[in-house]
Structure 1
Amino acid sequence: MCKDPHNHPRIVDLQDYLSGCTCEQEHPAPEVTLYRGADACQVLARDCRAIYQDQPVLLLFDPDTYAVAGAELQQCLIAENVNLTTYQFDSHPVATDTLIATVSALIHASVLIISVGSGTVNDLGKYSSSEAKIDFWSVPTAPSMNGYTSGIAAIKVKGVKRTLPATPPQRLYVLPEVIQQAPLKLRQAGFCDVLAKVVSDIDWQCESLLFSGGYCGLPATMMAGVEKSYSEHPEEIGRGDESAVMGLFNGLLLSGVAMSLAGSSAPASGGEHLVSHFWDMREAITGREPELHGLQVGAGIILSTACYQRLRQLDSAALQPQADRIFAATAAQIPVIWGPYAAEVDKQFQNKRELLKQFDHLLPQKWEELQSLFQQVPSPEYFAALFARTGAPFNLDAFRLTEEEFTLAALNGRAIRERITVLDLAANAGVLEAATEDALQLLR
């Protein structure tokens, strides 16, 4: 493996995967390095002192992540005489533009942000450091999501969940025991999130076939090499088996790198992620307590695969020209669903109107080629059983979702992003409502 100046290996050597590239575009070599060991906090602190000397450093955590790793890291940094400022978010923080402003105000002359945590804490540090053009290091605390190494951050801007560009961390310092002993729900969430790429990769291929031609097989090639280390071991992940949990964690890290190489979240985020973002955005309206992103993505996978199952059963003769009518009907629901956030959502949906109008002629024209992609997606029953085998409940009640809220997201989640996904295909092919009911049968 490649080495950095301080002898930590890079997560991947790009040369190992370039044979999987099918787009003939240049892929930037990922520079993220990884140190893994029980002494990760001590090593991080020594590296920090050696590299940044007396320059200011900002450390971010929340109460939970402080307890499992932040306190130890803080002590190590102080012992190394690092010029340290710390900030603790409230429990279960949400990544919003308001919190980004809070972090930005703390940066001052800082040259480095270190995040101790998983999804939200990681994204807040990553995006803030990227905007300030300073370095970012991460101390993961759970195998719960693939954003540690990605080039994006999920931030609510004016109430709308946005996937924004953000520079990945230069370094990851991992405490294996912390990852292995993360709560079961966090492990299940990561399992759902990493398996989303099975569906989102087909979403990306469908969009590429219909419109952009931008698909590249490199991310899928990267993931194929590690997929068995987590997909075949749901029970072991549920029990906290070290090999299985670390296999899951490695898969999540590679998934994030794959997104960075692709220059977008498309390899690991399709229609199944849109419904998760929909529920996150609706929390201020519904008062629903936030749920883990990966678990919501798991419910979205059941919906997306149900859509693909319906699509592959459909003959091209059943396709009707209805793009304008469907767009108008969906757009008319935006003010009803989103209230004060309607203008921002409508802006996103209007941005893909011209693409959606082409469905009337593109779907029949490309139907045979699309069918070959539809056939590659496993059934929703396969995923529902796989997720349940981790040992944690996998249903709407467990995720505090009503059938009404699930249906609302299924039928309208495609409006919150410009990206074309299976939800758009299913809506314009007239099978989205039936697929939603199929998914509900498995999630009740």
Structure 2
Amino acid sequence: MMPSRHEIHHRLQEILHLAAAWITHLDDLLPANRADAKNNWGAPTPDAVEDKVMAESATLLHVAYRAIVADRGVEEGVEDGCASLREALATRARLERERHTSLLRRAPHVVWPLGITHAVLQRFGIMDKQFHELLQGCLNLGWGERVDRPLFRSLEIRWASGVLNGCRPDADDLIAMAPACTLPSLVARREDAYALTHTLFYATDFGAYPLPDCVSTQRVTASLDALLAWQLWEDDLDLVGELLAAAYACALPSRYSDMALTAVWSELNRPVVRGPFAAHIRHRMNSIYDVEVFGSCYHTTLVAGILCATYLAAPPVNSPQNQTPGPDRALVTEEALESLRLVNQPERLSASWVTGIDGVLEPTQTVIACVLDGALASAYRADDLRTVAVLHQRLKRYGVTTATSLAAAVALDFRTRHG
């Protein structure tokens, strides 16, 4: 069943303390001889990895602190966890100040990720006036926005500037250039889902501000639910966590979010949360200071913390779920297993969402729609149009229309017309 607020509080507290421990022991978790590290394509230097870990940990602290400020019954342990992570980041920032200062003077366009750690610490009264002026100068120079990069990376710079100056991100002009919705989950890339979540995060400062007026909440929610069903099917806890965090942060009326959180909670509640490419180290997942476990799983673990924080800070949302009495609940799991067999993926029968789905208390049609949405995306990607047609008919049988089922109908018609 859906985790209680107390369970989510406790998990956030655990992750805050774990992030603090990782920052404290970062030298042991990165290659020892930094002078020998080469900045090859696809192989960032340990310094770059360190800066990324610090920025993402600072982001967790930023969002967790917002949950405290929102004062929706956040428990005292979360404040203790924030204090622990704040001190670890402050200590590390002092150690790296000279390197960061030198880098920003030479290359002011790399203001992120170096700037966000300082900006977050500043909110806690840990101020470095000279470094602040350097960061502000880098932002004013504007070179960071001249780099050819995805739109959400430009939003990242605007967000960092907003955090630094304690104001809403100046993002409306960039949001206006964004697609109205993402590609259908039938053909979307993992990067498309990542771009959607981060656009929502940065445009709203993780839910501190409402979405810009030019954003269609209905379209964004439909896209997010389609991607969430697909990523549940892929068993990618990293993107599932980000999609859920975006749904809660932006108070989107998601059909699938509570169901998905229930289905994967047992995995998110582990000491270290499995990363998308960490299947080969499952047996070592409790070793929090294992270098390979850290490298493969730290990001997904921090994402789980951000998810917990956005959930706790968010106002309640009434999801538009189908309340029509559904078939016997045992059919839900059977539908999931049959769909897995249809798309020839029996090895996924042990996926976390398949076993976790038994505890879901949502209306049965909603659960089955999510399962079939994911199966549709998987079958289409395998170019198995026969199975796509079968799954599409099953969705129609349960009387639920989704963005993925509509896209599947369009895709099948397109393929028929064009051979």
TM over 0.5: no
Bigger RCO of structures 1 and 2 (CA < 8 A, at least 6 apart):
2
**Structure with greater helix share of residues:** 2
